[in-house]
Amino acid sequence: MTQHETDHTPVRTKPWNFGLLSSEEFGEAEKELVLAVLDKKRVFRFLGSDKEQSEAFKLERLYRERTGAKHALAVNAGTSALVSALIGAGVGPGDEVIVPAYTYIATAAAVLIARAVPVIVEADDSLTMDPKAFEAAITPYTKAVIPVHMRGVPCRMDEIIEIADRRGIIVIEDVAQANGGSYKGRPLGSFGRAGCFSFQQYKLVTAGEGGMLVTNDDTLYARANIYHDSAFVYWDMNADIRQPPFPGENYRLSEINAALALAQSKRIEALVAKLRRIKSWIVSAIADLPQFKLQSIPDPQGDVSYSLVFYLPTSEQARRFSQRLAREGIPNGTIGNNGFADRHIYKNWTYVLEKRGASERDTPWNCASYKGNVQYSPDMCPNTLDWLGRAVAIGLHQHMTEQDRDDVVNAIRKTAAAF
């Protein structure tokens, strides 16, 4: 027996007291910008004609500069950004939109809100969309695809873009969980016809709620702008919107939320750099272990790096590894077995699988415009369920010290030795 196998003292006895990635960074910058909004008494972005006074306008400018996009549109949620992008791209009744089996339910919900039909495809060992599954799911009704950069990991964008371009499919990136990430040197969100970000509190940048759409497409931007505000053309008479107005929603971002997102977004590069250093060190220190397989990362240099995932040979081994790792003082989870119905896993998207819309009489699936016949079942994506069932995940945090990092490595190595 090794010393690790006979040592019953946990590697870590110190509490694991890390908060959320985003709100743990709240400080003077957030206070200064939010209080400035209150001092200006301008909490609605279209109050007055001076755009430069708007925090939402400044936030849009930052994301245009960061992503290299021609246009940016601040909205009140990541879901709103997706819906506006889909509507902006002309997606609607009769269309199919391909989405991965592992993403938050809001990705599929956005497709339904646009009155299109979500088609669910497999994720691979990166836990992002499998390009082969994407291409196999294309039908004459496919209008768009939404690759989702899950848990900060960039999708296989070379393959996805190649397939989409060859087959005439619109790409809309869901960057909700990967703000600050990149793929082969290019910012995530800059590959598709549009990129959509979220500023919800669990994300790397938070405004409590909020989102951003970026695009180089003039028509998509104009239509998204109209849709995100049913009265937009009346608020901003100087906007260069060369599209006829049509009914929209109210997805406007408030100035207070914009100020929070702006303060947070200004520090994202430094935040991601810290996370990458921590994760790369841990990965290099456990890469030699034969007991498990590390998650495939399509571009490790672009990984936002707040999640460490590895796979055991079976789901039962993953469960036992997770439990033993927790006894060593390292909180973790088996992604497919958290004790609750995780809405990031397609089998728990109840209203999607049951084809249930807001109205029974007229849903995207049964409307006269839709000629397809998409079918769903809880076991339709067995590869995704297999990867998730064998996965163990550890959340990383920018405030981790060298000791915290070493504790993770030592606990993993000790647990692996017992296997």
Handedness of CA 234, 237, 243, 249 (dihedral sign): negative
Residue with tokens 């049509």: 246
- Any domain includes 332: no
- pLDDT for the residue 337: 63
- Any domain includes 331: no
Under a CB-based contact definition with an 8 Å cutoff, are residues 223 and 42 in contact? no
Torsion angle defined by CA atoms of residues 389, 133, 217 and 299, in that order, rounded to the nearest 10 degrees: 60
Residues of the chain with pLDDT under 70: 1-7, 232-241, 336-341
Question: Residue 118: which CATH number?
Answer: 3.40.640.10
What does the alpha-carbon distance between residue 276 and residue 329 come to, in Å, rounded to a whole number? 22
- Any domain includes 215: yes
- pLDDT for the residue 7: 62
- pLDDT for the residue 303: 98
- pLDDT for the residue 1: 38
- pLDDT for the residue 285: 98
Full-model pTM? 0.95
Determine what percent of the chain falls in helix, strand and coil, rounding each to the nearest 5: 40, 15, 45
- pLDDT for the residue 51: 85
- How many domains are there within the chain? 1
- pLDDT for the residue 338: 60
- Any domain includes 346: no
- Any domain includes 319: no
What stretches of 185-271 adopt beta strand conformation (E)?
Answer: 186-187, 194-198, 211-215
Q: Which domain holds residue 68?
A: 28-266
What does the alpha-carbon distance between residue 211 and residue 191 come to, in Å, rounded to a whole number? 18
What does the alpha-carbon distance between residue 203 and residue 21 come to, in Å, rounded to a whole number? 7
- Any domain includes 280: no
Under a CB-based contact definition with an 8 Å cutoff, are residues 338 and 331 in contact? no
405-418 in b/e burial notation, b at 16+ Cβ within 10 A? bbbbbbbbbbbbee
CA angle 222, 192, 126 (to 5 degrees): 145
For residue 373, give the 3-state DSSP assignment: coil
- Any domain includes 142: yes
- Any domain includes 192: yes
For residue 200, give the 3-state DSSP assignment: strand
- pLDDT for the residue 5: 47
